[in-house]
Amino acid sequence: MDLKVTTHVGRDLLQSAALFKTEQSVVWEYVANSLEYVQRGVPPVVNVQVNSREHTITVSDNGRGMLAKDLQHFFTMHGENRDRRAGKMGRGKFGTGKSAAFGVANDLEVETVHDGLLNKVRLTRAAIDASTGQDIPLEWLAKNEPSERSNGTVVTISDIQLQRISTESIIQYIERGLASFRHANPQVAVNSHLCEVYEPRAQDQYTFRPSPEQIAAIGSVELTIKVAAAPLAESDQGITITAGPGNRVAVERAGIERKEFGNRLFGDIDVPKLEEPSPIAAYDSTRNLQLNPNNPVAAVLIGFIGSKLERVRQQLADEDRKRRESAEARELAKESSKIAELLNADFQTLRQRLTNIRAVAAKPGTAGARLDASSSGSGNEQWSRGTDQQGTLGGAERERQGGDGHAGDSRPNTRARPMGTPNSEGLDPLSPAGEQGRRQTKGRGGFTVDYDNLGPDNERSRYDRERMAILINLDHPLVAGALDKGKRNVEDAVFQRISYEIAFTEYAVALGYEMAEEDPAMGADDLLYEVRQSINRLSRASAVLFR
């Protein structure tokens, strides 16, 4: 008997589907296919319809469509990509995208028209579960039927198992991904919203080219690094890496997001050599947007990107230090320290109240003890990013009369990513430039407050989660106007009142955000209550300053 390598097709498909855990990642998979497999000379148009009530999502396009034989190839797991075989690089490589729907749903229909012939098939989770492993039968709903419709494909995902479908998340995910398809001038709509290519606003931009030695490994590429005026959301940080038009394969941050100004850097680079055959793949099929540093091309690329990110970051830090040497900057630092002192006094008081509540709840035989026991091991015992003291804001007590429950919320428990871990000398071992590690900037006593030039178009304040820092935007028209009206006097009463009000509001919102991170079951009404309570406490505490 000959030995053979075999696979169970049903389990293989479901394992691939498990890589797609959210509605946005699922929808993007089919949208990206629509943007890639287009008719020559026809700008791609994609329409996404989200029906939360019916638990369905449809993705329709004006692409080239498929014949019956093309559908068979489409549903071949890990089949060879025909465009790649013809020399056209693109996203399709591992054949896992077709399974995306089953990461969140039980039913997938593909209806497609090519050259006047309509084909429609259906695949269900029940059919996948019933598979013996050899193959999975598809249900033909229409086969080679004449049609007057133009070419295109409609993918319908139904019986979605998510408790809530977030249309906003889908829109945001698509708008971030569209940058990779900018060359095709795509039009993508989600319900009535026309998506636009999203990119943070840059105040500076730098370009870098690799050395001759690096060119030998990664090719003659160009790296663009852009600087945002304010800290970016984690999803917006880093260098987007493509391996040909529309083929986004990774986002590289090289560890600098944990350093000062690192979370303001983003950009892009196109490296076709990542597609060259290698025993060690440059990236995998999980769509995790991470390069494999063991791949020879990826290894050189990560070092190149990391060293340039560090150079720009260090330049920003040096410029900031010079700015802080001015007399006005020193006065602003004094004022921000006063605000931070108020915030942290409130923060410490709140944490002490929570500690006392837990102490009471932990007494044997009490209802509180039973409640505490039911939540033990949840990982919520320490909420102290950048601090030395223990305490959690998850499950904060409800001071409202008769209200201690949470409104149901189906958000997943997305724990905040911890900060980088320094070594015994307090140095950062992740310096991408290969230099002597630099000490990380971490808040040691709670929140910090700082005045910063974040740009006139940005919000009046921003919360930097990595440093637990509240940044007041000196460029915002309200803040800048108050400072100028006070003749650049930082101690001007109007400027001070505006600064305190902005900091209090940002602190309250930040506190609510951190509570939600620690306690995903917290309802919107409870969050709103906590935000209002925080603002009220701080307003009363600061009243004495303005008498």
Nearest alpha-carbon partner for 169 in 411, 406, 408, 409: 411
422 neighbors 440 (Cβ within 8 angstroms): yes
- Three-state SS string over 506-539 comes to HHHHHHHHHHHHHCCCCCHHHHHHHHHHHHHHHH
User: Which tokens go with 131?
Assistant: 């598979």
Q: Give the model's pLDDT for residue 94.
A: 53
β-pair type (193-194, 187-190)? antiparallel
HSE (side-chain half, CA atoms, 13 Å) at 259? 26
Q: Which CATH architecture fits 202-323?
A: 2-Layer Sandwich (3.30)
Task: Give the angle 129-97-278 at the CA atoms, nearest 5°.
Answer: 115
Q: Give the Cα separation of 460 and 456 in Å (integer).
A: 8
User: Which tokens go with 41?
Assistant: 């000379």
Domain extents in the chain? 9-194, 202-323, 327-546
SS3 (DSSP) at 255: coil
Partner residues linked to 189 by β-bridges: 47, 194
- Buried-state track 293-316, b at ≥16 Cβ within 10 A, e below 16: eebbbbbbbbbbbbbbbbebbbeb
Q: Give the model's pLDDT for residue 88.
A: 53
Give the start-end residues of each E strand in 400-512: 448-452, 461-464, 469-473
How far CA 414 is from CA of 463, 518, 519, in Å, comes to: 18, 9, 10
- CATH number for the domain formed by residue range(s) 9-194: 3.30.565.10
How far CA 329 is from CA of 78, 336, 355, 483, 499, in Å, comes to: 59, 10, 38, 13, 15
User: Which tokens go with 349?
Assistant: 């008081």
HSE (side-chain half, CA atoms, 13 Å) at 228? 24
How far CA 337 is from CA of 319, 478, 503, 538, in Å, comes to: 21, 21, 12, 15
DSSP 91: S
Nearest alpha-carbon partner for 112 in 42, 58, 167, 41: 58
All residue ranges of the chain with pLDDT < 70 are 1, 77-97, 285-287, 354, 356-445, 546-547
**Counting every residue, how long is the chain?**
547
Topology alike, domains 9-194 and 202-323: no
- CB-CB neighbours of 509 under 10 Å: 17
Q: Give the model's pLDDT for residue 253.
A: 93
Partner residues linked to 226 by β-bridges: 205, 266
- Three-state SS string over 366-399 comes to CHHHHHHHHHCCCCCCECCCCCCCCECCCCCCCC
HSE (side-chain half, CA atoms, 13 Å) at 480? 14
Residue 381 buriedness (CB in 10 A; 0-12 / 13-18 / 19+): middle
